[in-house]
């Protein structure tokens, strides 16, 4: 038996010969302009989503200014959530409440945050079950993020 190619969507074969659809190589299943994914990085979910990009990074839209960059050979457990910069509210206006979005009458009032930093995950990073990765986090090569952790800022390799 050979190692699966990096563009294989479902790299795990069950004993009955069928594909285990709850584990995917991310590059094969995510086609999103704001994602950059290294070869062989995979994610698993107890209940596989129809849209892996939205499942893992629900605030990273096609029009978002930031990117989510994931290196090679990363392992992403069930329940991991990447909270990217587009999820933020501005803090430099009259309120953090996005009045202009709902009313459209606050010309010049800040509503949407400006471009935020990219979130970057190095190579060979293991992100444990239920972890939350905050906007702009930079996680170095070889880091293990514990289950349930909340990670922001820089984590050295």
- Kindly provide the residue ranges of all beta strands, DSSP E only, lying in 78-157, ordered along the sequence: 81-82, 119-121, 126-127, 132-133, 138-139, 144-145, 150-151, 154-155
Could you tell me the two tokens for 115?
A: 């471009």
Question: How far apart (Å, rounded) are the C-alpha atoms in residues 29 and 24?
Answer: 7
Catalytic residue among 32, 47, 55, 89: 89
The yes-or-no answer on residue 89 being catalytic is yes
Question: How far apart (Å, rounded) are the C-alpha atoms in residues 113 and 90?
Answer: 5
Grouping H, G, I as helix, E, B as strand and the rest as coil, residue 145 is strand
Positions annotated as catalytic residues are 89
């Amino acid at each position: 038996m050979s190692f699966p190619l990096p563009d294989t969507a479902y790299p795990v074969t069950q004993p009955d010969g069928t594909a285990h659809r709850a584990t995917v190589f991310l590059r094969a299943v995510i086609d999103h302009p704001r994602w950059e994914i290294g070869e062989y990085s995979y994610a698993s979910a107890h209940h596989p989503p129809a849209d892996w990009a939205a499942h893992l990074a629900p605030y990273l839209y096609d029009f978002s200014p930031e990117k989510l960059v994931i290196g090679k050979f990363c392992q992403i457990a069930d329940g991991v959530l990447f909270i990217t910069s587009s999820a933020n509210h501005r803090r430099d206006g009259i309120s953090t409440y996005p009045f202009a979005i709902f009313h459209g009458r606050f010309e010049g009032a800040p509503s949407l945050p400006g471009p935020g930093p990219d979130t970057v995950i190095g190579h060979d990073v293991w992100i444990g079950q239920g972890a939350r990765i905050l906007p702009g986090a930079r996680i170095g090569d070889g880091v293990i993020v514990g289950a349930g952790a909340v990670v922001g800022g820089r984590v050295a390799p």
